[in-house]
Amino acid sequence: MELQNYIAKNGIPLEIEKGKQVFAQGELCDYVYLVKSGLLKAFYITADGKETIKSFIQAGTIIGSLNAAHCKVPSTFSLEALSRSELVQVPFYELLALSKKSISISQEFIQILLSLSLKKERREYELLTLSATERFENLCKDQPELVKKLTQNDIAKYLGITPVALSRIKHQ
């Protein structure tokens, strides 16, 4: 909580309207964001122009392009609001510097990274071993409230299939 409090107190508040982007794929972005309210999606645009969704971000989450922030390279994905969202922005290096001075902050950092790894591991597992139908069933079971807020377009892009395929799956 110490870390979240720090961000909430020292960060710059942002308001992102529905459909607007926080940062875009290809840009440098070494900030980290705490989501206070709203709903966002992190997504890739592939070489042939198709969109696939990496994750949905709900209130209470800390999000940012670790890659971009940590390695000083352009972000591989974009972050866009699906509904009006309130964020608080803080430079990544500021948190890293903070963690160098306080054991409790660095412990919190470790916990956040651990749970991030677990989330990614779960997703990797599902992509690797489950069919689109099973992934859809899991999503509906695990996050029914989230599913209600999403369009089928976005659900499909998250599952890694087309909206047409998702419609077929739903109809059977």
Partner DNA sequence: GTGGGGCATTAACCTATGTTAAAAATCACA
Partner DNA sequence: TGTGATTTTTAACATAGGTTAATGCCCCAC
Query: What does the binding site for DNA look like in residue numbers (CB under 7 A)?
Result: 131-133, 151-153, 160-171
CB of 126 to a copy of itself, least distance (A): 9
Give me 158's structure tokens.
Answer: 């998250």
Phi, psi of 117 (to 5 degrees): -60, -40
Helix pair 103-129, 132-142: axis angle to 10 deg = 140
Query: How are beta strands 31-45 and 62-63 bridged, if at all?
Result: antiparallel
Q: Judged by CB under 8 A, which of 18, 100, 168, 170 binds a copy of itself?
A: 100
Task: Indicate which of a copy of itself, DNA, none lies near residue 141 (CB less than 5 to 8 Å, by partner kind).
Answer: none
How far is it, in rounded angstroms, from Cα 120 to Cα 137?
18
Of the two residues 53 and 87, which places its CB atom closer to a copy of itself in the complex? 53
Of the two residues 60 and 160, which places its CB atom closer to DNA in the complex? 160
Of the two residues 75 and 85, which places its CB atom closer to DNA in the complex? 85
Exposed / middle / buried, residue 7 (Cβ in 10 Å: 0-12, 13-18, 19+)? buried
- Contact residues toward a copy of itself (CB under 8 A) are 44, 46, 50, 52, 54, 66-67, 70-71, 76, 96, 99-101, 103, 106-107, 109-110, 113-114, 116-118, 120-121, 123-125, 127-129, 160
